[in-house]
């Protein structure tokens, strides 16, 4: 149980090497990648995926997966803009309601998985469909509303040249680092993911940990949805679909195991940045849409293969 956290830290090194390497390659192909404006844009856009991926990491650590994050982001976007409707001072109440809704959704997923023993893939994918359907019913297919002007500073503003959304992402990541590395609950997450039966025999409240893990995952998706809403300012049906698989990819590329018990926040930060870099690179290189998907897929798959080779080689040496 105690070996998981150091290995997560060591396992984060390859993805950060990959982030630097991809950036250098992209800069050689397109010097525009070196501009300060492009760097700020990458950091700003990465924040949305980055926050959602932090929650996905927690779900993966307990040996599960959360495919409802796309539906949560979409619902939060629709709900927050409708509640704010462009009114000054309406943001605090809208934020509180959206976060409460996210927690409730995540806890519901956790109950399905921990108590009713529904497979995480099925439970969360079903939730995703329900949430998207709820967004359609709520809007009648025509979403309305607008983010409050003051709230949009979180998505569009900057402090000392650093995008506000990036600062929010870093702050949330620091909280995640403390949670996983410095708390009993963090140790419980790794223990449940590594071996839930052994964890139960050691006195770990496995069901409670599972419910809390999925609640945190949905909470992170809600925060990511709020940041994205602050950035675009308007409601958009299906806006969360882009995070359904990329959040999983960011965590896995960053070294979090799909089988649970291995991984961490630092690797996921690099994974989110790597995926955003890959997307930005294919766009700035003026590739067709089909070619962009192919190249991005090859880069992600190749990085996972290289990561597995590096970590397995390190394990043999150790």
pLDDT of the residue at 282 = 80
Say if 317 falls within a structural domain. Answer: no
| Mean pLDDT, residues 187-211 | 96
- Specify the higher pLDDT residue, 59 or 89: 59
CB under 8 A, 24+ apart: contacts of 130-133: 130/71, 131/68, 131/71, 131/72, 131/74, 131/75, 131/105, 132/70, 132/71, 132/74, 132/75, 132/238
Domain CATH code at residue 14: 1.10.3470
Say if 279 falls within a structural domain. Answer: yes
Using alpha carbons only, what angle is made at residue 158 by residues 155 and 161, rounded to the nearest 5 degrees?
A: 145
- Rounded to 5 degrees, φ, ψ at 158 are -150, 155
Model confidence at 317, in pLDDT bands (50, 70, 90)? very low
* pLDDT exceeds 60 at position 313: no
Say if 223 falls within a structural domain. Answer: yes
pLDDT of the residue at 1 = 44
Radius of gyration of the chain (CA): 19
Within 13 Å and on the Cβ side, how many CA atoms surround 9? 7
Range name among 87-91, 116-120, 177-181, 289-293 with the lowest pLDDT average:
289-293
What percent of the chain has pLDDT above 90? Answer: 64
89-148 pLDDT tens trace:
899 999 999 999 999 999 999 999 999 999 999 999 999 999 999 999 988 888 889 999
Say if 212 falls within a structural domain. Answer: yes
Q: Is the dihedral of CA 109, 114, 116, 118 positive or negative?
A: positive
Say if 239 falls within a structural domain. Answer: yes
C-beta separation of 225 from 243 below 8 A = no
Burial of 109 (0-12, 13-18, 19+ CB in 10 A): buried
| Arithmetic mean of pLDDT over the chain | 88
288, two tokens: 């067709």
pLDDT of the residue at 307 = 62
Question: Distance from CA of residue 242 to its chain's centroid?
Answer: 11
Question: Which structural domain range is residue 79 located in?
Answer: 4-310
Within 13 Å and on the Cβ side, how many CA atoms surround 257? 17
pLDDT of the residue at 78 = 96
pLDDT of the residue at 255 = 87
| Mean pLDDT, residues 202-206 | 95
Say if 188 falls within a structural domain. Answer: yes
C-beta separation of 183 from 193 below 8 A = no
- Rounded to 5 degrees, φ, ψ at 163 are -55, 140
* pLDDT exceeds 60 at position 9: no
Say if 318 falls within a structural domain. Answer: no
Which residue matches tokens 């590739």? Answer: 287
* pLDDT exceeds 70 at position 272: yes
Say if 229 falls within a structural domain. Answer: yes
175 three-class SS: helix
Please tell me the total count of domains within the chain: 1
69-81 pLDDT tens trace:
999 999 999 999 9
Buried b (16+ CB within 10 A) or exposed e, 207-229: bebbbbbbbbbbbbbbbbbbbbb
Cβ–Cβ contacts within 10 Å for residue 193, how many?
28
What percent of the chain has pLDDT above 70? Answer: 90
pLDDT of the residue at 284 = 76
């Amino acid at each position: 149980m105690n070996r998981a956290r150091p290995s997560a830290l060591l396992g984060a090194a390859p993805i950060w090497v990959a982030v630097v390497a991809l950036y250098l390659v992209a800069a050689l192909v397109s010097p525009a990648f070196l501009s300060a404006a492009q760097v700020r844009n990458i950091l700003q856009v990465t924040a949305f995926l980055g926050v959602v991926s932090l929650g996905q990491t927690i779900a993966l650590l307990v040996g599960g997966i959360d495919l409802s994050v796309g539906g949560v982001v979409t619902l939060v976007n629709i709900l927050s803009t409708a509640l704010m409707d462009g009114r000054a001072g309406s943001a605090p109440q809208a934020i509180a309601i959206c976060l409460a809704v996210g927690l409730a959704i995540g806890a519901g997923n956790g109950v399905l998985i921990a108590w009713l023993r529904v497979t995480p893939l099925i439970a969360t994918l079903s939730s995703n469909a329900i949430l998207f359907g709820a967004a359609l019913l709520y809007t009648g297919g025509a979403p309305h509303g607008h983010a409050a002007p003051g709230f949009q500073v979180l998505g569009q503003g900057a402090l000392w040249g650093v995008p506000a959304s990036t600062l929010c992402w870093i702050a949330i990541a620091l909280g995640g680092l403390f949670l996983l590395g410095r708390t009993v609950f963090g140790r419980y997450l790794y223990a449940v993911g590594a071996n839930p039966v052994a964890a139960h025999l050691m006195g770990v409240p496995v069901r409670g940990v599972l419910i809390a893990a999925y609640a945190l995952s949905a909470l992170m998706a809600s925060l990511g949805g709020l940041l994205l809403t602050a950035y675009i300012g308007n409601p958009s049906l299906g806006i969360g679909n882009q995070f359904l698989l990329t959040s999983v990819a960011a965590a896995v590329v960053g070294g979090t195991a799909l089988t649970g018990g291995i991984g961490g926040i630092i690797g996921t930060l690099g994974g989110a940045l790597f995926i955003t870099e890959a997307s930005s690179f294919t766009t700035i290189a003026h590739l067709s849409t089909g070619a962009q998907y192919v190249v991005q897929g090859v880069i992600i798959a190749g990085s996972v293969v290289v990561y597995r080779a590096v970590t397995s080689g390190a394990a043999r040496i150790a």
